[in-house]
Amino acid sequence: MIRALLLASLFVVFDAPQPALCQTSNVLQQFDEANALYREGRYRDAADVYQLTIDEGFESAALHYNLGNSFYRLDELGYAILHYERALEIEPDNAAVQHSITLARSQTLDQFSRVPDPFWKPVISKLARIARAGTYFWIGFGLYLISATIVCLRILRRLSTDWSRRLSAVLAGVGAALIVVAFVVSVYNASFVRYIFVGMDTPVLTEPDELADVEVRIHEGLVFTYLGEEDGWVNIRLPNGVSGWIVDKDLVQI
């Protein structure tokens, strides 16, 4: 069952080339090898093999989930949550991953109250997972060109049929909507870049200066929003909405 799930969900990046059959076989062999190491309790070795598979360009929710489980067994909550998060980006409704990440989060030291997301954020987030901004743009642009072509043909051939007018209007409307979606998804992706802290702890300062006041200390496994950086400092926004600066160290983008 797991082998079938891996094979079905392995190639999730739209611009990734389809691998040869022998490559797929090698990936499944590595996956089975890592699973065997995990069952033997050799969690570090299992994590290395899972990571090797990902480094070779293959990704799936199953790979990230099992890698997260390996790090969880190694008491490395930061990396465990990182890979659970990546698994959820591929399969947001995966109940097993949702359960595991909830369990891992409950064991982190930072239990911030969370600012509720605006009503539109889940919708845009789902659109961003379905396709990239460029995909929406080119599909929308293509539909718009088809609509313009129909209009030109109507003018040149003096066609006045209802179906051609309606078709061109629908294509133009859908094309314009997809171009707007592309813009919104692009802005969303740039504005909601998430990172996770995988070190032990670090202070969040009010300014990018070692002498600045400490707002709070954050610990392993905390996920936050990236706002920018300056001279080795990173500006972040915590789950409770508080913003501050931390040293650019032990941070991994989700």
% the chain with pLDDT above 90: 58
Mean pLDDT of 165-175: 90
Judged by average pLDDT, the poorest of 64-73, 184-193, 216-225, 239-248 is: 184-193
Q: What is the rounded distance in angstroms from the CA atom of residue 143 to the CA atom of residue 202?
A: 50
Please say whether the beta carbons of 197 and 250 come within 8 A. yes
In the DSSP assignment, the letter for residue 96 is: H
- Whether domain 2-106 has CATH 1.25.40.10: the reply is yes
CB atoms within 10 A of CB 79: 21
CB atoms within 10 A of CB 66: 23
CATH number of 193-253: 2.30.30.40
Give the rounded distance of the alpha carbon of 186 from its chain centre: 13
- Banded model confidence at residue 16, pLDDT cuts 50, 70, 90: very low
Sheet holding 201-205, edge to edge: 214-219, 201-205, 243-247, 233-237, 223-230, 193-197, 251-253
- 35, pLDDT greater than 50: yes
Please state the φ and ψ torsions of residue 6, each to the nearest 5 degrees: -60, -45
Please say whether the beta carbons of 42 and 26 come within 8 A. no
Q: Would you state the pLDDT for residue 6?
A: 40
Q: What is the rounded distance in angstroms from the CA atom of residue 127 to the CA atom of residue 185?
A: 7
Q: What is the rounded distance in angstroms from the CA atom of residue 16 to the CA atom of residue 23?
A: 14
Report field, pTM of the whole predicted structure over 0.75? no
Q: What is the rounded distance in angstroms from the CA atom of residue 192 to the CA atom of residue 117?
A: 12
Q: Would you state the pLDDT for residue 167?
A: 87
Q: What is the rounded distance in angstroms from the CA atom of residue 207 to the CA atom of residue 198?
A: 22
